[in-house]
Amino acid sequence: MRYEAPESVEGAVSLLAGGGPRGRVLAGGTDLLVQLRAGAIAPDLVVDIKRIGETREIREQDGSFVIGAAVTGAELGEHAKIKSTWPGVVEAAELIGSTQIQGRASLAGNLCNASPAADTVPALVAAAARCRIAGPKGMRRVAVEDVCTGPGQLSLGDGEFVVAFELPERPARSADAYLRFIPRTEMDIAVVGAGVNLSFDEEGRCTAARVALGAVAPIVILVEEAGAALLGTECGNAALDAMAAAARAACRPIDDKRGTAQYRTKVAGVLATRAARIAADRAREVG
């Protein structure tokens, strides 16, 4: 197995494009190294992206944020501005594993591992985050919800990798939240994850709402009907009940040792409601 650590985006692209189908990107390695050790994968080439400047920085650009693909959960948690602007995205990253794991685990690794239960993905989808993807044909931007196509499956082409995430400009009176349910207090995989991002007008009516669910379908889902149920409302009980019903209706979960499909579906409605209440409270606080 060949290990390379290029210092430019172009260098990584040419290695990945020329390395054949068994090339893999390495960010924090908290998924990749486990899979390597378990013999689940045997890449010919591993391209470590952490020496590429763009993958390691957090930049603010006209009110929006660009977060490098290999920025760790710990680094996100230490960034006061991003934490106050996108608390849901940061709390999702801070739920990953343990302190040690958070010192390595990245947003791009969480997304590109393509687990339906990945914690940061519902939060990023709710935030309407986009990926900057570099490849042999240059740079393209893709909504986070369009990157995974199934468990372990990505829409990335040969030689492509995620360079960074873009979080859009934050309007006034808006905020996000992420909640997950696991069978124990930490170090487990989500039974359900729910990310909600809300905006309100001066009268307190909801003007934008995105609700995303993890671990209830083969990929993280953006439930447009759930967001639509909140629009124009003050996110009171009736609107939240309608939102929860739409969230439950979108669930297509599996049964496994963490919960039955029926249980996951019920929890999805409960978590989406709680996350929406938190996001609404936060939006009112920031004003």
Ligand X SMILES: Cc1cc2nc3c(=O)[nH]c(=O)nc-3n(C[C@H](O)[C@H](O)[C@H](O)COP(=O)(O)OP(=O)(O)OC[C@H]3O[C@@H](n4cnc5c(N)ncnc54)[C@H](O)[C@@H]3O)c2cc1C
Interacting residues toward ligand X by CB under 6 A: 24-32, 34, 49, 69, 95-97, 101, 104-106, 108-110, 112-113, 118-119, 161-162, 187
φ, ψ dihedrals at 221, nearest 5°: -115, 140
What are the strands, taking DSSP E only, across the chain? 2-4, 23-26, 45-48, 58-61, 64-68, 130-135, 138-143, 148-150, 153-154, 161-167, 174-181, 192-200, 206-214, 221-222
Q: Which is nearer to ligand X, 95 or 129 (CB)?
A: 95
Helices and strands (DSSP H and E) totals, the chain: 12, 14
What residue is closest to ligand X based on CB?
A: 109
Of 270, 200, 196, the C-alpha closest to 234 is: 200
Q: Which residue, among 115, 266, 253, 97, has the nearest Cα to 186 in the 3D structure?
A: 97
Toward ligand X, which CB reaches closer, 27 or 235? Answer: 27
Nearest to 269 by CA among 238, 248, 249, 253: 248
Give min distance, CB of 15 to ligand X, in A. Answer: 13
Q: How far is the CB of 55 from ligand X (least distance, A)?
A: 7
**Smallest separation, CB 234 to ligand X (Å):** 33
Least distance in Å: CB of 123 to ligand X?
A: 10
Closer Cβ to ligand X, 96 or 275, answer by number? 96
At closest approach, how far in Å is the CB of 85 from ligand X?
21
Nearer to ligand X, 184 or 237 (CB): 184
Indicate the residue among 104 and 170 with the shorter CB distance to ligand X: 104
